[in-house]
């Protein structure tokens, strides 16, 4: 795939950035010594490896879980780099790291389901909302409120503010690439920290789509119906993925503005202006993800 047509995704990690191209994942982290440590791995999405997994909506559900797993693995790597020497990092890699990342994904999913899907149900019941529409609107409003409070609490955490700066560096670097400009610190600095395909925007779309889907599912009055709502989460993620994907392909128009405006506004909480040093790390990850020889 030509570089100019490649879709680049990314994620901020601890003192670094992960960049993902259609064929490679590169994670670059700055150590306390100032050195940038990079890991480049071959990558082909599950939806590309298995034709059936590439079907609309299904590909979004698969991508949701795949990216969560990959993201936590990259976070684990960044934590190892920041806290250990290169030899220690090599020793820690292997099946134990994969198992740890897998267990972390399970715990993260469980905590997320409890906080963002089960707790709103409990509160909506306590409020006494009657009828499918009223109940699910209250449930959705509670979910959005919890999400906003969650982001505001993260902004009070000093270490997370550093992550948000790297998040900004990731977005600015991707903008620079998508505009076809030379990948330099000065060029990157000109761009905005907000991006249409950001995970923050995706999560907000998920929150909104869940209200619509749950209204059609009615009011959950027993455990079986509540579990059924949880089973619908991958479908909601798949629908949200298709909407974000559609918006990302458009350069203008009402649909794109409607889908992306709330998410872009919300990114003021999850991105911050990065320093030149942080941009250098993001560019290192981006260049490695685009370079066929990187990590070879």
Our count of domains for the chain comes to: 1
Given a contact cutoff of 8 angstroms between Cβ atoms, the answer to whether 61 and 67 are in contact is no
Q: Which residue has the tokens 């306590």?
A: 126
Q: Which residues of the chain have pLDDT under 50?
A: 1-4, 95
Could you identify the residue written with the tokens 């969650």?
150
Q: Domain span at residue 231?
A: 3-290
Q: What is the pTM of this model?
A: 0.83
Residue 10 backbone dihedrals phi, psi, to 5 degrees: -165, 180
Give the per-residue pLDDT at 48: 87
**What tokens were used for 195?**
């991006």
Q: What is the pLDDT of residues 40-90, one digit of tens each?
A: 999 988 888 888 888 898 998 898 888 888 888 898 889 888 886 555 555
Work out the burial of residue 130: count CB atoms within 10 Å of its CB; fewer than 13 is exposed, 13-18 middle, 19 or more buried.
Answer: exposed
Angle at 196 between CA 281 and CA 176, to 5 degrees: 40
Q: Look at residue 175 in the predicted model and tell me its pLDDT.
A: 95
In a domain, 296, yes or no: no
Closest residue by Cα to residue 200 from 272, 271, 267, 111: 267
Q: Which residues of 248-276 are buried (b: 16+ CB within 10 A; e: fewer)?
A: beeeeeeebeebbeebbebbeebbbebee
Residue 190 lies in a domain: yes
In sign, the C-alpha dihedral spanning 194, 200, 204, 206 is positive
Q: Is there a domain that residue 197 lies in?
A: yes
Q: How far apart are CA 214 and CA 171, in angstroms?
A: 32
- Residue 50 dihedral angles phi and psi, to the nearest 5°: -120, 120
Does any domain span residue 295?
no
Question: 67 in a domain, yes or no?
Answer: yes
- Residue 261's pLDDT is 82
pLDDT of residue 2: 39
What's residue 221's pLDDT? 82
Q: How far apart are alpha carbons 28 and 49 in whole angstroms?
A: 26
Yes or no: say if 174 and 286 are a contact pair by the CB < 8 Å rule. Answer: yes
Measure the CA–CA gap between 201 and 262, rounded to whole angstroms: 7
Say which residues have a Cβ less than 8 Å from residue 11's Cβ, sequence separation at least 6.
17, 18, 20, 71, 74, 167, 170, 199
């Amino acid at each position: 795939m030509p570089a100019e047509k490649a879709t680049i995704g990314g994620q901020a990690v601890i003192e670094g950035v992960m960049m993902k191209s259609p064929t490679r994942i590169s994670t670059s982290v700055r150590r306390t010594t100032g050195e940038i440590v990079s890991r480049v791995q071959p990558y082909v999405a599950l939806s590309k490896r298995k034709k059936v997994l590439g079907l609309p909506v299904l590909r979004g559900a698969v991508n949701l879980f795949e990216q969560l797993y990959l993201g936590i693995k990259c976070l684990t790597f960044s934590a190892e780099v920041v806290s250990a020497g290169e030899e220690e990092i090599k020793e820690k890699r292997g099946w134990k790291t994969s198992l740890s990342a897998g267990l972390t994904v399970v715990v993260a999913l469980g905590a997320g389901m409890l906080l963002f899907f089960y707790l709103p149900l409990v509160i909506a019941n306590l409020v006494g909302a009657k009828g499918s529409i009223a109940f699910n609107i209250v449930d959705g409003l509670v979910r959005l409120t919890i999400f906003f409070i969650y982001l505001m609490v993260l902004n009070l955490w000093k270490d997370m503010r550093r992550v948000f700066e790297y998040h900004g560096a990731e977005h600015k670097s991707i903008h620079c690439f998508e505009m076809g400009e030379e990948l330099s610190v000065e060029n990157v600095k000109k761009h905005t920290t907000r991006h249409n395909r950001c995970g923050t925007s995706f999560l907000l779309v998920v929150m909104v789509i869940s209200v619509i889907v749950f209204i059609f599912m009615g009011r959950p009055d027993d455990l079986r119906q509540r579990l059924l709502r949880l089973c619908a989460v991958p479908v909601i993620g798949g629908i949200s993925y298709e909407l974000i994907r559609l918006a990302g392909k458009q350069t203008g128009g009402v649909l794109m503005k409607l889908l992306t405006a709330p998410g872009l506004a919300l990114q003021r909480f999850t991105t911050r202006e990065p320093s030149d040093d942080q941009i250098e790390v993001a560019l290192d990850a981006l260049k490695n993800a685009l370079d066929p020889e990187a990590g070879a």
